[in-house]
Every structure is written in structure tokens, then in C-alpha cells.
């Protein structure tokens, strides 16, 4: 500890040491340009949005488990308008599913996860005083906030929120006559998402520029912690793919309001014969999934980056195959741009093109497998400290495996034809996104909470939270695979329709739906442990020390109290890679990046 | 009301209880001078053990689910390609289950075995090119096998159907399916959405349907349920009618739209070749159930009227989207009659089904059609009971006035009545 502290001290009187004294409330807490504060703002917003989305899922899960039965819980939240007599309305079911998916994917795991941890860790871990542009960074957060607000408002309007699924395929999303949510609700959805995309672009550009330009002396690209590599590639994916979604959304807006026919052709809806001719709904799907697939890695890579760091620290071992890990991140990032067609095998797309996408998609499994093996080897012969963060990181690896292997089924068009759009898909993406990525986010919060708030979270509550979440979430998503293999289509309001033709499947699906909902409720209640812990510890948690996890990276060389510019003196200089844990010949079981190589010591990589 | 109260009380009590527990815990930590970041060996060990326990419970749960429901809870495949898909699915499942069990077991075992022990230092191991090569190459080989087998099956499924294949069409709209058999010539008649009328829901193109569609567009229906251009104009120009501005704008837009559509219809009529009529007229339109003949190859084509739907035959392991403005196709060879499947499943009420599998609106979940796979004899007998499109269409004369003289008045009053 002494070794790393002395470097950071002893440079008193450096330029911006006292700037932070005379800040007003507004510029410190609201329109802050400081990456640490912005990161906390992102986290708070994400926690709120995540809670809402979780609540929505419980509402529609109640309908799935006990279709048509009156529920006080539904009345409580939805009132007579959307749940007359305590029974959810068909259209609102779709509305809830849509907003649940949208919030989870975009607001919790794209905005929330990247926003929180890229902001927190990029300047800290590369040794920068702040982001390249504090102003754009602030703008990015407030646009995120605005888009979240609009998305929330759309839940309360008379015709209901968007109801076309989070993928909002036209024509359903283009025609208010087809479903009521495609009126004002869809307009708000598109507005919110356009602002969200702008926010995400501002954020990503900032991350990229910061990583490229503001690394401190000695911080070569090959000395960056894997977190930074993950955020960096994530940001590049975002910059390259989100604009395509924006264009898809703009064309959709034009089809909706300007009478164009990008996605519409030969339609009769609500008794009205439309003139639109020559457009193609498939065009939208191509544009959407050109973002959509990179998006799942935008969601996942930061989680993998965070867990790499956490696993190395808490195994007291270097991450195994550092270079291979970087290589896999780059390979995954690149390949994620040429696989989007695997969402479209049965849309009527040319089967030969489908074959090409089968090939590219299955290629991604290789770098993913490499990552898993590297995690396993990192754990092997480690000296594991099972902090709550570490537990979540291990949980992430487990779910990354479970969700990854089912991806192999879905990537194979000949098999996808049997399970596409069934609950098997729902199970698959929940295991990778709803579990892996969310676990990564939790791991990050538990690990960097001391850095964000200067306090410690309660470990026991962390344990309780982890175990309830792991058991609850596997209890929800494991059985879902079987529901899917029984052929149950997704986005169905009521599976008792099965009673009319296949009583065997009917019984199985109805039984499992109850099991799933019960586990979902348990998991949801389990989040209470986290929420309580989080807010209680912010207010009253025990104070932390500078480097609680005895970690090597630069963020742990900054003082506990947040200051402008992060380091009180000169910026630290980096002399080694970030994973010198348990290096033979060293006194401590970790050597901070700022400690120069000893004479004759070799740098690992 | 009471429900809200109870919920509130439970939540408040829960929070208070946790708060108390945490207080106690904090005090005891303070007494023992324990810091939150120091994980005791006991906690470490406990969580390591729980990891192991969890993985065992997870496996038991998983295996139990597999034994109880199998990996095709919908039963055996009932089509030729479905069998191939299922075979491949099983093979893939074996592969991924091996990967799943192997890696997950290692993960949980390691996190149990290697928890920190006093005096044991972690092994400094940064990389090993040989190991990494091995676990890059092995997945690559396995994936190559998966890809090759997958593409072979995919080509079989999507390849051209044979010349003998029976052509049928499935037409989708919110929220039902309509089947169209191609009749004796085994050729589906042409269709165009602009010809859609109540009497010709699929918009088939024949001289007669063109005529009636044009008349409908020009004039409308006597009873005022459909307003053609003429009826619209009369309504608009009738001084007795007063409209709010929005309604007026809407009607004027309607009028313009119908005028343009009419122009297109007239052009189509000019291009129409009477010889094509027979092709559509012998088609057979069937609404509630879809009958298929066992062991016959079907070339199905799909159309959608309003939004995207998806034709999903879970038991045939077949699926294809129906997209407005596009005709998609799918090849299916059912190889087990409904009767045989009922016996296999020991379920006398079982039926095959065609479900909608693309979100299409509120009643999406109800959009289905029962599918019956018949023996050839049954199929023939059933087909005999069907009437072709010509007879159905010509039996119902369209109720538009031949001369639009005083129809206007009639339409007008009926319009008022409708309102
Ligand atoms: C409490 C935990 C959760 C439960 C019980 C749950 C359950 C569900 C269910 C039943 C659906 C509807 C599937 C369908 O009919 O298509 C759904 C949709 C979805 N969920 Fe979750 N989910 C949970 C958490 C998450 C998380 C953490 C994510 C983050 C990625 C997520 C992302 C999605 C997405 C993207 C959809 C698709 C929405 C759509 O079809 O438009 N969910 N969820
Ligand atoms: Cu994808
Ligand atoms: Cu449908």
C-alpha cells in the first residue's frame, strides 16, 4: 500500500488542486461535467429504469401464469383502464412487454451499464483527469435522462405505449389502425430512442477520443486493463451501428407521417386500402438488426470487461491470456457486424444469404469460447476471495456459457426454423443479457461502489442478494427453454389456447409458466437486498480505504474523496501491465501499475 | 384498498427488519474490528461450498426437466424435413450439453476448490500459447462440423420443391388464416391487393373480380357500407350534410386516394388477359381448417394483408413469415396423419396446428388454424365437398347499382342510418 500511495502524494500544489472548493450545488450535482458525478447520475437513472422494467415483467408474468384471473396487484399498478377487473388487457400485455424489453436493453444495459462504468473507469484507469470533453459528456447524460423521461411518459398516455415489441417491426409499428400503441405511443418511442441514440453517440465518441488521446505516460494500449479495451470496442460498435438504427427510425417516422413507402407495400388495414407500394418491411429488419446484433455485444462486452478485472483481482492471479482476451474482444467486435441476418432466417430472405450468416455467426463462438477458457484458467490455482462482486463475476461466466451454447442452436438456420420466435429464443437472450450482462453490472457496482461513493456496501446483504438472484434467475430462465422447445411462440398473451389442440403441451406450458412466475417474483423481491444495501450504504455505510480490494489499476491510487482532476498531484506514470498479482519475487501479492519495474524484473503481458 | 395497505405494511416492515439486521451486523463488525472488504475465511469457504451445492442442484433440476419434458416437448416431428431437423437438433444438443456440463462443472469446481487458504499463494500464470491454440482449434473443428451438417439440412429444407408438389397459399390477416388450394390445374391464380372486396377477400384476378372491384371503387355499395368515389362525392356535395373540418379533410383525402387507386385498377383491367381467369376460378378457398394429404409434398406460399404474420407449424418444425407486399414460400411434406399422431401421443383430441408466430396485434395469440393431415382417401373425399372460387364468387352478385341514377339518395339515407 505504501508503495502506491507515495507516488501519488508529494506533488502538492499542482495546478487544479483547490478548484473543487467553490463549486455551486447545480454545477456539482446537476449539470456536472465531472466524469465521476456523471457516472453516478447514470447509475441512479439506470437503477430506477431497471426497477421499472422489472416491475413491468412481474405484471405480465402474472398474466402468463394465471391467465384471466383477477389480480389486485395488476389493478394496483394498471388501474381499471388497462386491467379492468384485475385482468390485463391484451394490448397492454404487448405494451408492457415492449417497454420492458426496450428499457432493459437500451436504458439499463446500454445507457446504464456503459454510461456508468465507461464514465467512471475510463479516466481513472487510463490516468486522465477527466473525459476529453466534459461538456459533451454532460450533454450525453442529460439527453439520456430526457429520453428516459419520454419513455416513461409513454406508459401513461391514453392509447398506451408502443406495443410492437422492442424490435418495432413495421408495418405493425407504422399503422395506428393495426394496434393502438402504434399511435402516439410509437411516436414517443421513436422520439425517445432518437434522443437516446444521440446521447449514446456523444458518449461513445467521447470514450473513444479519451482512450486514444488521454492515456497517461507509460499507458500503452497493451497495458490497458481489459475493462478499457471492452469499453473502447463497445464505443466503436456504438458509433458504427447506432446511426443505422437512427436512420431506420427516421424512415419509419416518415412512413408514419410523411406518406412515404420505405417499409410499406400493398396493405389493407382497418378496412382501408393504402396506396403505399414498393416498400419492404425486410428493409427495416436489415437496418434494425445491423444495429441489433452489435447491440447485444454493446451490452455484453462491458460486462465481460468488468468481470475480467474483478476475476483477476479476486483470484489474486493475472488474467490468463491477456493478449488473447484483447484479440477475442476485437474479433467479437468485428464479427458482430456481419451476423445480423441470423435474426432473419425465416423472413423470406434468400436462403443462400442465410447460409452465409450461419457461417459468420458460428465463427463468433470461437472467440467467445476462448474467453470462457481463459476465465476458467484464471480461476485455476488462484487464491479466490469470494466478494459479492466476485460471485457475480463467476455467475456471469456461468450464464455466459449457458446462454452461449443455446446460441449455437439458434445460429444454425436449419434448427432455427423450428425454434425461431419461441420461448427458446426468449430464454437464450435472457440468459446472456438478462443474466450475464446484468450480473456483470452488479459485479461492477459491488466492486467499484467504494470508488464511487467512498463507502463500503454490506457484504452479507451482497451475499444474500447474489444467491437469491442466481437461483431466482436460473429458476426463471431454465424452464423457459423447455417451454420454447415445446413450441410455445413468444409474445403470446395467453397460452391456454393450447388447450384447443394439444392438451399435452398445454399442461406442460401452463405448469412451467407458474414455476417461472414464482421464481420471477422471488428474484424480484431479492432485489430488495440490493436496493436497501445500495441506498443505505450511500448514506451510512462504513467509510472505505483507498484500495480496498488490493488492486493494481490506477483508479485505486486516487484519494477516496472525489476531487476535480482525480489525482491531487501530477498524473501517475505507468510502468507495467495491470495484472501483476502474486508475481513471484514480490513482497505483496499485487503490484500497482505505477510501481517501476525492479532491476532485472521482466514485464509480463 | 386493503391490498394496497397490506402491501405497504409488508414493505415497510421488511425494510425495517433488514435495517435492524444490518445495524446489529455493523455493531458486531465494529466490536471485532472487522472491515467490510476483509472477507473472512469462513465466508469464503461458505460461498465456495454454496457454489458447488448450487451447481449440483442446478444439474439435478436440469436433468429432471429433461427427463420430464424431453427436448422436444411438442412430440415427434411430423414432416420429412422435421425429422431431419430433429436429428440435427439432437446432435447439436449432445454437443452443447457436453460443452455446458464440462465448462460449468470446471467453473463451479474451481470456485469451490481454489478459495483462499492461509499460506497458499496463487500461481502466477500469464499465458500459454499451446493451451490457447488447443482451445481455439477444438471449438473451430466442432463448429465446422456443426456448420457443414447444418447447411446441408438447410439446403434440403429450402431447396426447390419437386414438379409434382401441390401448390397452396396461406393468406394471413389480423387475426386469422385463409388457405387457398390451387384446384385441378395445380396453379394458383394471380392476385392483387387492390382487388380485395368482401366477396373476393384474397384479391384474386379474373375478369369478373376486376369488374366488380372497379365498380365498387367507382360507386360503392348500395347499403352505404362501402363508399366508392361516386357515393363519396355525393355525400360531400350534399348541402344537407355538415362535417367537422377534420372529417371533411379525411373524406377529401379518401376521395383522392380512391381516384388514384381506380386509375390503377383500370390500367390493370386493360392489361388483363381473359385466358388467365381459369387459373384463379378453379382455386378453392378454405377458412377454418387446413387439410393436407399425408406424404405429399406441398409448396406453400404466404401472403399478408396488413402486418407481418408468421406461419408456424410447430409439429412440422416449419416456419415462414408472411410479409405484406411479398410472397414467401415454404416446402412441407407431412408424413404422419393426424390419426397416427393421436395414437402416438395417446391423445385422441390432439390436432396439428398453424400458429401465428410474429407479433401482429392484440389477438396475436389467438391467430391459429387447425391442421388436419388426412390419408389420401380421406383427403379426396374431403376435397369433393369443396366448391371452387368461380362458383362461390358468381353465386353472390355484388350489390352495386348498375345505373347510378337514384342510388345516390338511397346511399345517402343509408349512410345516415349507419351513422
Ligand atoms: C425479472 C426478470 C425478468 C423476467 C421475469 C423477464 C421476463 C420476460 C418475458 C416473459 C418476456 C416476454 C417474452 C415474449 O413474450 O416475447 C420478456 C421479454 C424481454 N425481456 Fe425480459 N425478463 C426479465 C428480465 C430481463 C432483463 C434483465 C433483460 C435485459 C436484457 C430483459 C430483456 C428482455 C427483452 C429484450 C425482451 C423482448 C421484448 C420484446 O419481445 O419486445 N428481460 N421478458
Ligand atoms: Cu444477433
Ligand atoms: Cu398474426
The ligand placed nearest to the CA atom of residue A476 is 1
Please give the pLDDT value at position A76.
Answer: 86
Residue A5 pLDDT > 70: no
Minimal CA separation from B360 to chain A, in Å: 6
Please give the pLDDT value at position A74.
Answer: 87
Q: For A85, left (φ over 0), alpha (ψ -120 to 50), or beta?
A: left
- The per-residue pLDDT for range A528-548, each reduced to its tens digit, is 999 999 999 999 889 999 999
Contact B147 A358 (CB under 8 A): yes
Please give the pLDDT value at position B267.
Answer: 92
What CA–CA distance (Å, rounded) separates A320 from A395?
18
CATH class of B284-386: mainly beta
Percent of chain A surpassing pLDDT 70: 96
Please give the pLDDT value at position A23.
Answer: 63
Q: Which residues on neighbouring strands pair with residue B173, listed in sequence order?
A: B176
State the best of A318, A384, A402 to mutate against chain B, taking most chain B CBs within 10 Å.
Answer: A384
Please give the pLDDT value at position B235.
Answer: 86
Distance (angstroms) between ligand 2 centre and the Cα of A159 equals 31
Please give the pLDDT value at position B397.
Answer: 60
Q: Structural domains in chain A?
A: 38-264 (1.20.210.10), 544-605 (no CATH)
Q: Which residues of B touch A279 (CB under 8 A)?
A: 325
Confidence class for position A589, pLDDT limits 50, 70, 90: confident
Residues 6+ away with beta carbon under 8 Å from B211: B269
Interface predicted TM-score (ipTM) of this complex, two decimals: 0.90
Q: Which atom of ligand 1 is nearest to the CA of A60?
A: 10
Query: For residue B217, what is the enclosing H or E element?
Result: helix B207-218
Torsion of CA B339, B344, B346, B348, to 10 degrees: -10
- The per-residue pLDDT for range B269-301, each reduced to its tens digit, is 999 888 888 898 889 999 889 999 999 999 999
Q: Closest Cα partner for A497 from B186, B369, B26, B88?
A: B369
Please say whether the dihedral angle defined by the alpha carbons of residues B359, B362, B364 and B365, taken in this order, is positive or negative.
positive
A511-515 LR contacts (CB < 8 Å, sep 24+): A512/A479, A512/A480, A512/A482, A512/A483, A513/A64, A513/A65, A513/A483, A514/A65, A514/A66, A515/A475, A515/A479
Q: Which residues of A touch B111 (CB under 8 A)?
A: 379, 384, 386, 394
Residues of chain B with confidence (pLDDT) below 70: 1-3, 396-419
Pairing of strands B298-304, B166-173: parallel
The pTM (predicted TM-score) of the whole model is 0.91
Nearest to B126 among A318, A347, A532 (CB): A318
Nearest to A381 among B99, B114, B135 (CB): B114
Q: Closest Cα partner for B351 from B333, B363, B368?
A: B368
Q: Which residues of B touch A478 (CB under 8 A)?
A: 58, 61-62, 65
Please give the pLDDT value at position A28.
Answer: 75
Residue A63 pLDDT > 70: yes
- The per-residue pLDDT for range A367-419, each reduced to its tens digit, is 999 999 999 999 999 999 999 999 999 999 999 999 999 999 999 999 999 99
Please say whether the dihedral angle defined by the alpha carbons of residues A403, A407, A408 and A409, taken in this order, is positive or negative.
positive
Residue A102 pLDDT > 50: yes
**CB-CB neighbours of A127 under 10 Å:** 25
Distance (angstroms) between ligand 3 centre and the Cα of B319 equals 13
Amino acid at each position: 500500500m505504501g508503495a502506491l500511495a507515495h507516488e501519488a502524494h508529494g506533488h502538492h500544489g499542482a495546478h487544479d488542486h483547490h478548484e473543487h472548493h467553490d463549486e455551486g450545488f447545480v454545477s456539482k450535482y446537476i449539470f456536472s461535467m465531472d466524469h465521476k458525478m456523471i457516472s453516478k447520475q447514470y447509475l441512479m437513472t439506470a437503477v430506477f429504469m431497471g426497477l421499472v422494467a422489472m416491475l413491468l415483467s412481474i405484471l405480465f408474468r402474472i398474466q402468463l401464469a394465471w391467465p384471466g384471473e383477477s389480480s389486485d396487484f395488476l389493478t394496483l399498478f394498471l388501474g381499471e383502464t388497462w386491467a379492468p377487473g384485475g385482468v390485463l388487457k391484451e394490448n397492454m400485455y404487448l405494451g408492457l412487454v415492449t417497454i420492458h424489453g426496450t428499457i432493459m436493453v437500451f436504458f439499463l444495459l446500454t445507457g446504464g451499464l456503459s454510461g456508468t462504468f465507461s464514465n467512471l473507469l475510463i479516466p481513472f484507469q487510463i490516468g486522465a483527469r477527466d473525459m476529453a470533453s466534459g461538456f459533451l459528456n454532460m450533454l450525453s447524460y442529460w439527453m439520456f435522462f430526457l429520453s428516459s423521461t419520454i419513455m416513461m411518459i409513454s406508459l401513461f398516455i391514453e392509447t398506451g405505449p408502443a406495443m410492437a415489441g422492442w424490435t418495432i417491426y413495421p408495418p405493425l409499428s407504422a399503422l395506428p389502425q393495426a394496434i393502438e400503441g402504434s399511435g402516439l405511443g410509437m411516436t414517443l418511442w421513436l422520439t425517445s430512442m432518437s434522443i437516446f441514440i444521440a446521447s449514446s453517440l456523444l458518449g461513445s465518441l467521447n470514450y473513444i477520443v479519451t482512450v486514444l488521446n488521454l492515456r497517461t505516460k507509460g499507458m500503452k494500449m497493451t497495458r490497458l486493463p481489459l475493462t478499457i479495451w471492452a469499453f473502447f470496442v463497445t464505443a466503436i460498435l456504438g458509433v458504427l451501428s447506432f446511426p443505422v438504427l437512427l436512420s431506420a427510425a427516421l424512415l419509419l417516422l416518415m412512413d408514419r407521417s410523411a406518406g412515404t413507402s420505405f417499409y410499406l407495400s400493398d396493405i389493407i388495414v382497418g378496412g382501408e386500402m393504402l396506396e403505399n407500394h414498393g416498400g419492404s418491411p425486410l428493409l427495416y429488419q436489415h437496418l434494425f438488426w445491423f444495429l441489433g446484433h452489435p447491440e447485444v455485444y454493446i451490452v455484453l462486452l462491458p460486462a465481460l470487461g468488468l468481470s475480467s478485472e474483478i476475476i483477476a483481482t479476486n483470484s489474486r492471479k493475472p488474467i490468463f491470456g491477456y493478449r488473447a482476451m484483447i484479440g477475442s474482444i476485437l474479433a467479437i467486435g468485428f464479427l458482430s457486424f456481419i451476423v445480423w441476418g441470423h435474426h432473419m432466417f425465416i423472413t423470406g430472405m434468400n436462403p443462400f444469404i442465410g447460409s452465409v450468416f450461419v457461417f459468420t455467426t458460428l465463427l463468433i463462438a470461437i472467440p467467445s469460447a476462448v474467453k470462457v477458457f481463459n476465465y476458467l484458467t484464471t480461476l485455476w490455482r488462484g487464491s479466490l476471495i469470494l466478494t459479492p462482486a466476485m460471485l457475480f463475476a463467476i455467475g456471469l461466466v456461468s450464464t455466459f456459457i449457458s446462454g452461449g451454447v443455446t446460441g449455437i442452436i439458434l445460429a444454425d438456420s436449419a434448427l432455427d426454423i423450428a425454434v425461431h420466435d419461441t420461448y427458446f429464443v426468449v430464454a437464450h437472450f435472457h440468459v446472456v443479457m438478462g443474466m450475464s450482462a446484468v450480473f456483470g453490472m452488479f459485479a461492477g457496482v459491488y466492486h467499484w461502489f467504494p470508488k464511487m461513493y467512498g463507502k463500503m456496501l454490506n457484504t452479507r446483504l451482497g451475499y444474500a442478494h447474489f444467491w437469491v438472484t442466481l437461483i431466482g434467475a436460473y429458476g426463471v430462465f431454465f424452464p423457459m427453454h423447455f417451454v420454447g422447445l415445446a413450441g410455445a411462440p413468444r409474445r403470446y398473451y395467453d397460452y391456454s389456447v393450447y388447450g384447443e389442440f394439444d392438451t399435452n403441451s398445454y399442461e406442460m406450458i401452463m405448469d412451467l409458466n407458474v414455476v417461472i412466475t414464482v421464481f420471477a417474483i422471488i428474484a424480484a423481491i431479492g432485489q430488495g437486498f440490493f436496493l436497501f444495501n445500495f441506498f443505505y450504504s450511500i448514506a451510512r455505510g462504513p467509510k472505505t480505504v483507498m484500495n480496498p480490494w488490493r488492486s493494481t489499476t490506477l483508479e485505486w491510487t486516487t484519494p477516496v474523496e472525489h476531487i476535480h482532476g482525480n489525482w491531487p498531484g501530477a498524473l501517475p506514470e505507468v510502468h507495467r501491465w495491470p495484472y501483476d498479482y502474486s508475481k513471484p519475487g514480490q513482497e505483496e501479492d499485487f503490484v500497482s501499475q505505477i510501481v517501476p519495474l525492479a532491476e532485472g524484473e521482466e514485464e509480463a503481458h | 384498498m386493503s391490498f394496497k395497505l397490506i402491501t405497504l405494511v409488508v414493505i415497510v416492515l421488511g425494510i425495517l427488519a433488514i435495517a435492524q439486521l444490518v445495524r446489529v451486523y455493523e455493531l458486531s463488525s465494529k466490536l471485532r474490528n472487522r472491515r467490510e472488504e476483509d472477507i473472512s475465511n469462513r465466508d469464503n469457504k461458505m460461498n465456495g461450498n454454496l457454489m458447488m451445492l448450487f451447481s449440483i442442484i442446478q444439474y439435478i433440476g436440469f436433468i429432471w426437466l429433461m427427463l420430464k419434458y424431453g427436448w422436444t416437448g411438442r412430440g415427434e416431428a411430423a414432416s420429412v424435413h422435421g425429422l431431419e431437423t430433429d436429428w440435427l437438433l439432437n446432435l447439436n444438443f449432445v454437443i452443447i450439453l457436453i460443452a455446458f456440463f464440462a465448462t460449468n462443472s470446471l467453473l463451479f469446481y474451481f470456485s469451490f476448490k481454489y478459495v483462499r487458504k492461509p499460506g497458499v499463494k496463487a500461481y502466477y500464470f500469464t499465458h500459454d500459447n499451446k493451451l490457447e491454440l488447443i482451445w481455439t482449434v477444438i471449438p473451430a473443428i466442432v463448429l465446422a462440423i456443426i456448420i457443414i451438417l447444418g447447411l446441408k439440412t438447410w439446403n434440403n429444407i429450402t431447396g426447390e420443391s419437386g414438379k409434382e408438389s401441390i401448390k397452396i397459399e396461406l393468406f394471413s390477416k389480423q387475426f386469422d388464416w385463409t388457405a387457398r388450394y390451387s384446384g385441378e390445374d395445380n396453379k394458383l391464380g394471380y392476385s392483387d391487393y387492390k382487388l380485395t372486396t368482401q366477396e373476393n377477400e384474397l384479391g384474386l384476378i379474373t375478369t369478373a373480380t376486376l369488374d366488380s372491384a372497379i365498380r365498387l371503387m367507382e360507386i360503392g355499395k348500395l347499403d352505404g357500407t362501402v363508399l366508392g368515389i361516386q357515393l363519396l362525392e355525393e355525400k360531400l356535395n350534399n348541402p344537407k350534410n355538415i362535417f367537422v373540418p377534420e372529417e371533411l379533410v379525411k373524406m377529401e383525402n379518401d376521395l383522392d386516394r380512391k381516384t388514384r387507386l381506380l386509375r390503377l385498377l383500370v390500367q390493370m383491367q386493360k392489361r388483363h388477359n381473359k385466358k388467365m381467369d381459369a387459373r384463379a376460378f378453379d382455386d378453392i378457398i378454405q377458412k377454418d381448417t387446413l387439410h393436407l394429404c399425408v406424404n405429399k409434398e406441398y409448396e406453400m406460399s404466404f401472403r399478408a394483408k396488413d402486418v407481418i404474420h408468421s406461419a408456424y407449424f410447430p409439429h412440422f418444425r416449419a416456419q415462414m413469415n408472411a410479409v405484406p407486399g411479398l410472397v414467401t414460400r415454404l416446402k412441407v411434406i407431412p408424413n404422419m396423419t393426424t390419426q397416427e399422431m393421436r395414437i402416438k401421443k395417446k391423445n385422441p383430441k390432439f390436432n396439428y396446428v398453424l400458429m401465428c408466430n410474429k407479433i401482429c396485434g392484440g389477438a396475436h395469440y389467438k391467430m391459429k388454424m387447425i391442421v388436419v393431415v388426412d390419408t389420401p382417401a380421406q383427403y379426396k373425399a374431403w376435397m369433393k365437398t369443396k366448391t371452387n372460387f368461380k362458383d362461390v364468387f358468381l353465386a353472390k352478385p355484388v350489390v352495386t347499382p348498375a345505373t347510378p341514377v337514384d342510388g345516390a339518395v338511397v346511399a345517402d339515407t343509408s349512410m345516415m342510418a349507419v351513422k
